[in-house]
Amino acid sequence: MSRNEIESSENNLIFYTINEISKLNNKRFEITFKILTFINYLVDKSMDIKDIFKNLQKNHIWSDQWIDLLNCCLFNTNVLGNDLEEKDTQISFYKILQRLLILIKKNENYINYNILISNIGEQEKLYSKKFFETYKEINAITENTTFLNSIYLLNTSGILKDIIKFKEMNEYDYYNSYLNCLEKIKNNENPSFELLVKLLIDICMIFPDVQEECWGKLLGLSSMTDLKYSDVISFYSRNKFKINYLFIVNFNTFHKYLLNCISENIVTDILNDSIELIVDYSSIINEKIKTKFLIELFDISYREEEYYFKKLFKLENMFLEKYASSNCKDEFCKIYLSLLDPMNTLKVKSESLKLFPIFNSFLSSHYQDQLEKSIEFIIYNQFPISSNDLTKDTLQYIEYKNTVTALINLLSTGNFIIIKNLILLTCKEENFKYQEKIKEFIAVIINNYTEEQFTNFTDYCMSNLLNTENDPLVRVNVIKQYLIPALIHVNCQYKIKFYSKYIKQLTQVIKEQLINKEDELCIQLNIHSINGTNSEINKAFCNGMVKNGKELLTSLMKPVAYIARSVANISSNNEEYLRANKYYKQSAYCLIAVMLYCTQTKENFFNVFLFQENEAKNEKIWENIIDTQNKTFFKIEDGIPHKKNRKYYENLISNYIKNIIIHFCFIQPFQY
């Protein structure tokens, strides 16, 4: 038959053998492609399975010549010509070939399937031997990738499994031989091996028993200079659902390959796709599977924290930010908080704190409480008593510094848990190294607070002041370093709310301290000299009754209590509040002045209560106010006091009232 006759009668193409086609020169691939297209046409035009095979048999599709042609299409495409090198042509060619192979497997009972398997098996044996001998040679890449393409098609159709059985081979050994090839060529940097590697991956991943080992080979590809992540991108795109489903249900087995992966990009992609699968296919990934996977994820992040979390929890890994608010939110929060577990090192925690901005908005009140306890544990149990105790450049120093830096950087989140713990960190020791930096950052934050936020802040400071179980140093520093500066610079309306809320408690703190000191004064002096029947104090406040120091000061403070209650009831009238507040302060300290009037000279008046700080003499106002059990010993004038006139008393009050207000009431002096 001439070439013209072949072209004019496509139905006759099927009768030609491979030898005859090979003689057609430039037309050989075109003719073969037409044959496969014709077969596809017969299948499409058939009404049912019987009709398909009737058409195929009628056209002698199952003849020996056709089997030879099929083998040629699978293993010896160079006979067909160079057209197969064109990408579009190649895609169409293999698409039709795959469809035909699937058709054969599904309907093996209608044909002499064993003869077909035997024939294809012989060709596979011949060409696989050649592949294993030449797969590392660059000049054999084209032929070997063609062979692997065909193996992949046979594999996906199910025919390869029958060929392996026909050859009486063990399936694991068969697939593992290709897996070994993947291992041996993974360090080859020639980009021409890219397709070869992808095909090997596709083949190995299909067989379940080789999947686990293939993960190791797959993730090891990251060491290849030109391949890296790009080497598996098409593999993921084609098999994303299946591979990540397998990863989810077998995470306990496959996670170890993530640990050994050189490329964090690949780990990120695998985890991304797995979480995406859970979110997008909730009907398939049921609650049981999801919970199992995330619990295993939680467990492994806990067991392998120092190494594993660097790949799993990177700030750049957007899957955390993207899915933490999904139906996996609780599991993600548990995983994150596990990294701050007391058993973990500061190295782990410093890295984990960098992830806090992602989880900040997703932590419910329950998790917020856990977070606060975790950070408090770091400060009180894992940090040194003094930051100056650490030797610079040691591992302990570096981990400590990194953790403190991570906490300071988190101030930008505005999270109050972070702010509170950094306040504690700076207040629990004298001369903390990072004190000024932290105070500066927190001051900026407080200056931008809303009224509600400022109230929360002052509530926290006052809770520390009023909690007598707290370390006195913490109580002192919280007030001196944070509350007083905040009240000086804050909006006046915020001050009104603060004083209205806490004036009673402040009065009580001052009262307790004054009672202790007055009691000590009465012990050192003769009580009758101070509060005898004819004393000025007795006449003014005690109605002729002799009282001890505590009783006396209680009487003195009663007028203050009335004023305090009136101040507390003030709503928002600024002038009214300031006037009442001023009268309260004047009354309180005038009473103190009256009490001391008969006992102490002007020079010793303020030294008795240490109203003036003197670091050189270790005289500290706030330490004495807060530590109410500490009785400060001071010099007592045991002689008869000099007579004082009214002018002396008035000068005394006017000279010192402003200084007292600053120290005790946390605000700037009033302008009278």
**Predicted pLDDT at 459:** 92
Q: What is the dihedral of CA 459, 465, 469, 473, to 10 degrees?
A: 130
- Nearest Cα residue to 101 out of 89, 90, 84, 113: 113
Distance of alpha carbon 75 from alpha carbon 153, whole angstroms: 12
Q: Is residue 242 part of a domain?
A: yes
CB atoms under 10 Å from CB of 187, counted, come to 11
DSSP string, 110-133: GTTHHHHHHHHHHHHHHHHHHHHH
CB atoms under 10 Å from CB of 435, counted, come to 18
Distance of alpha carbon 613 from alpha carbon 593, whole angstroms: 19
The residue with tokens 């660097």 is 310
142-156, pLDDT tens digit by residue? Answer: 788 888 888 888 888
Two structure tokens written together for 232? 């598996």
* Statement: residue 349 has pLDDT above 80: yes
311-328, pLDDT tens digit by residue? Answer: 455 444 555 555 555 566
The answer to whether the beta carbons of residues 613 and 620 sit under 8 Å apart is: yes
202-257, pLDDT tens digit by residue? Answer: 777 667 667 666 665 655 544 443 444 454 555 555 556 666 776 777 777 666 66
Residues contacting 86, CB < 8 A, separation 6+ = none
Name the helix (H) or strand (E) containing 205.
Answer: helix 194-206
Last residue of a domain, one of 329, 345, 365: 329
Distance of alpha carbon 537 from alpha carbon 594, whole angstroms: 7
- What percentage of the chain carries pLDDT values higher than 70? 43
Q: How many domains does the chain have?
A: 2
26-72, pLDDT tens digit by residue? Answer: 455 555 655 566 556 555 555 455 555 565 556 555 556 667 667 77
* Statement: residue 661 has pLDDT above 50: no
**Position 104 confidence tier, pLDDT thresholds 50, 70, 90:** confident
**Predicted pLDDT at 51:** 58
Q: Is residue 290 part of a domain?
A: yes
CB atoms under 10 Å from CB of 34, counted, come to 17
The answer to whether the beta carbons of residues 611 and 663 sit under 8 Å apart is: yes
SS3 category, 614: strand
DSSP string, 288-356: HHHHHHHHHHHHHHHHTHHHHHHHHS-TT-HHHHHHTTTTTHHHHHHHHHHTT-TTS-HHHHHHHHTTH
CB atoms under 10 Å from CB of 659, counted, come to 13
Distance of alpha carbon 418 from alpha carbon 223, whole angstroms: 40
Two structure tokens written together for 78? 């160079």
Q: Is residue 177 part of a domain?
A: no
Burial class (CB in 10 A: 0-12, 13-18, 19+), 398: middle
**Predicted pLDDT at 657:** 42
Q: Is residue 526 part of a domain?
A: yes
Q: What Å distances lie between residue 419 and 83, 171, 412, 479, CA to CA?
A: 69, 61, 10, 15
- Nearest Cα residue to 536 out of 656, 655, 649, 651: 649
* Statement: residue 417 has pLDDT above 60: yes
- Nearest Cα residue to 336 out of 317, 369, 312: 312
Last residue of a domain, one of 270, 299, 329: 329
**Predicted pLDDT at 493:** 78
What's this model's pTM, rounded to 2 decimal places?
0.46
Q: How far is CA 602 from the centre of its chain?
A: 62
SS3 category, 619: strand
**Predicted pLDDT at 667:** 33
* Statement: residue 394 has pLDDT above 70: yes
Q: Is residue 143 part of a domain?
A: no
- Nearest Cα residue to 247 out of 238, 260, 236: 236
Residues contacting 468, CB < 8 A, separation 6+ = 628
| Max Cα–Cα distance, the chain, nearest Å | 146
509-525, pLDDT tens digit by residue? Answer: 666 665 665 666 556 55
**Predicted pLDDT at 545:** 66
123-146, pLDDT tens digit by residue? Answer: 888 888 988 888 888 778 778 888
Distance of alpha carbon 216 from alpha carbon 544, whole angstroms: 95
CA angle 86, 87, 91 (to 5 degrees): 120
> Helix (H) and strand (E) counts for the chain?
36, 0
Arithmetic mean of pLDDT, 531-558? 59
* Statement: residue 282 has pLDDT above 80: no
**Position 1 confidence tier, pLDDT thresholds 50, 70, 90:** very low
Two structure tokens written together for 381? 């149990």
**Predicted pLDDT at 567:** 47
More confident call, 20 vs 86? 86
Question: What integer best gives the mean pLDDT of the chain?
Answer: 66
Last residue of a domain, one of 297, 313, 329: 329
The residue with tokens 């994150």 is 336
**Position 5 confidence tier, pLDDT thresholds 50, 70, 90:** very low
> At 394, which amino acid appears?
T
The residue with tokens 């491979």 is 18
* Structural domain boundaries enclosing 633: 491-665
Distance of alpha carbon 385 from alpha carbon 401, whole angstroms: 14
Lowest mean pLDDT of 157-171, 284-298, 316-330, 377-391, name the range.
316-330
Within 13 Å, how many C-alpha atoms sit on residue 494's CB side? 23
Distance of alpha carbon 667 from alpha carbon 662, whole angstroms: 6
- Nearest Cα residue to 542 out of 568, 522, 567: 522
Distance of alpha carbon 631 from alpha carbon 627, whole angstroms: 9
Q: Is residue 163 part of a domain?
A: no
Q: How far is CA 200 from the centre of its chain?
A: 36
**Position 176 confidence tier, pLDDT thresholds 50, 70, 90:** confident
Q: Is residue 383 part of a domain?
A: no
Distance of alpha carbon 361 from alpha carbon 358, whole angstroms: 7
Scored b (16 or more CB within 10 A) or e, 239-271 reads: beeebbbbbbebbeebbebbeebebbbbbbbbb
Q: What Å distances lie between residue 396 and 340, 389, 391, 431, CA to CA?
A: 17, 11, 8, 20
Lowest mean pLDDT of 277-281, 497-501, 604-608, 619-623, name the range.
604-608
Distance of alpha carbon 129 from alpha carbon 213, whole angstroms: 23
Two structure tokens written together for 545? 């009754």
**Predicted pLDDT at 253:** 67
The answer to whether the beta carbons of residues 408 and 422 sit under 8 Å apart is: yes
Q: Is residue 215 part of a domain?
A: no
The answer to whether the beta carbons of residues 346 and 400 sit under 8 Å apart is: yes
